[in-house]
Amino acid sequence: NAGVMQNPRHLVRRRGQEARLRCSPMKGHSHVYWYRQLPEEGLKFMVYLQKENIIDESGMPKERFSAEFPKEGPSILRIQQVVRGDSAAYFCASSPRRGQGTDTQYFGPGTRLTVL
Amino acid sequence: QKEVEQDPGPLSVPEGAIVSLNCTYSNSAFQYFMWYRQYSRKGPELLMYTYSSGNKEDGRFTAQVDKSSKYISLFIRDSQPSDSATYLCAMSGVETSYDKVIFGPGTSLSVIP
């Protein structure tokens, strides 16, 4: 039973390029969450998606960031025109139902984005 | 005041010591409390979760929740070098239509052989 998969594990982009981060949830999970983690900081919530729906994007920056979770395929976090401040580890988590404490979120290994 | 506060450490203890990790929070609506362990350059993994106040034990790990004080703890007995990691507390409660999980910043723990 494969866990949450994220790719790429490491991504290097130059300022102004686009970054695309992919997340495949655990089998049977239809809820996906994206978090950003900066050095010495905790996980910051970005967005919560169900299939074809954005449920909560209150943690997403207003510009350049977008997320989707199509009916088929992985969830995508897209960052347009990256800047150095976007360098961070981006984690995806999935859960089988809405994120209540007993339906725990399971995390992927993360994508480490470096912007040169 | 941050919603969840946690001493970032680093905390360094000798092998075999009892470790106490703590978090405080401000939102009394939180009902579910979790501890995640994160090894360097890996994703967080769930260690324990508890509902409301009380204690929960799992092997060498004990989680305690005191809702009246808005304080949660994770105790690690007979600590091992393999316990060296960052420990994140997390909590959730009824909020709008789903329970957003809020994470603390994490405490870095080193267990010295």
Q: Which residues 18-47 of B have a C-beta within 8 angstroms of A?
A: 31-34, 36, 41-46
A100 vs B99: CB contact, 8 Å cut-off?
yes
Searching chain A, which residue's CA lies closest to the CA of residue B44? A107
Asked if the model's pLDDT at residue B97 lies above 60, the reply is no
Searching chain A, which residue's CA lies closest to the CA of residue B47? A104
* Å between A63 CA and nearest CA of chain B: 22
Task: Determine the pLDDT at residue A98.
Answer: 58
Task: Determine the pLDDT at residue B95.
Answer: 52
Sheet with strand B71-76: strands edge to edge? B4-6, B19-25, B71-76, B61-66, B54-58
Average pLDDT for residues B99-107, to the nearest whole number? 84
Average pLDDT for residues B5-10, to the nearest whole number? 85
**CA-to-CA distance for A28 and A12, rounded, in angstroms?**
31
B6 vs A55: CB contact, 8 Å cut-off?
no
Task: Determine the pLDDT at residue B98.
Answer: 57
Q: Which residues of chain A have pLDDT under 50?
A: none
**Is pLDDT larger for residue A54 or for residue B96?**
A54
Over residues B17-71, the pLDDT tens digits come to 999 999 999 988 888 899 999 998 899 999 998 888 889 999 999 999 999 999 9
**CA-to-CA distance for B88 and B19, rounded, in angstroms?**
14
Share of chain B above pLDDT 70, in %: 94
Chain B interface test: which of A43, A56, A105 (most B C-beta within 10 Å) = A43
Task: Determine the pLDDT at residue B60.
Answer: 97
Asked if the model's pLDDT at residue B96 lies above 70, the reply is no
Task: Determine the pLDDT at residue B25.
Answer: 93
How high is the mean pLDDT of chain B?
89
Task: Determine the pLDDT at residue B52.
Answer: 81
